[in-house]
Amino acid sequence: MKQLITVLAFAAAVFASSAYAADAASAPKSASAAKASAAKASAPQAAPMATAASAPTKQQTRMGTCSAEFKATGKPGSERQAFMKECLKKESDAKKAQQEKMKTCNAEAKGKKGDERKAFMKECLSKA
C-alpha cells in the first residue's frame, strides 16, 4: 500500500510540475512584458512595413544619389543602366581605398599606444 501511495504521489508531483512549467512558459515574465504582449497583439500589421520604408538602407541611399545625378545629366533613359553601374562602382572604389589607407596606417602605427597612436592615425589618415 505504501508503494502505491508513493507512486501516486510521485505521479501527482510530476504532473503538477509539468502543468506549472507549461503555464509559466506561456505567461509573461512581468507586467511590462504583459503590456508589450498586449500592445503587439493590438498593433496593426502594416506598422513594421512603414518603419522599414521610412529608413532607407545604405544601398537605397547610394541608388538615390546616383539616380539624381543621372537625371541631372539629361541623358536618355536607355543609358541609365551603364551610368548607374559606373556611379555605384565609384562609391565602392572609394570605400576600398579608405579601407586600404586604414590598413596601411594601422601597420605603420604598430608599437604606438594611447595619445601617440591617435595623433599618428589622425595625421596618416588625413594625408591624400
Q: What are 64-74's pLDDT values in tens digits?
A: 989 898 888 88
31 located within any domain:
no
C-alpha distances in angstroms, 61 versus 34, 40, 41, 95, 110? 38, 30, 33, 15, 36
* pLDDT tens string 81-114: 999 888 888 877 888 888 899 999 999 999 999 9
93 located within any domain:
yes
pLDDT at site 90: 82
The domain tally of the chain equals 1
10 located within any domain:
no
Is the pTM of the predicted complex or chain greater than 0.95? no
Within 43-113, residue ranges assigned H as helices are 47-54, 58-73, 80-108
122 located within any domain:
yes
Cα–chain-centroid distance for residue 82?
31
Amino acid identity of 43? Answer: A
pLDDT at site 43: 47
* pLDDT tens string 44-63: 454 455 555 678 888 888 88
Look over the chain and give the mean of its residue pLDDT values, rounded to a whole number.
74
Rounded to whole angstroms, the Cα distance separating 3 from 62 reads 76
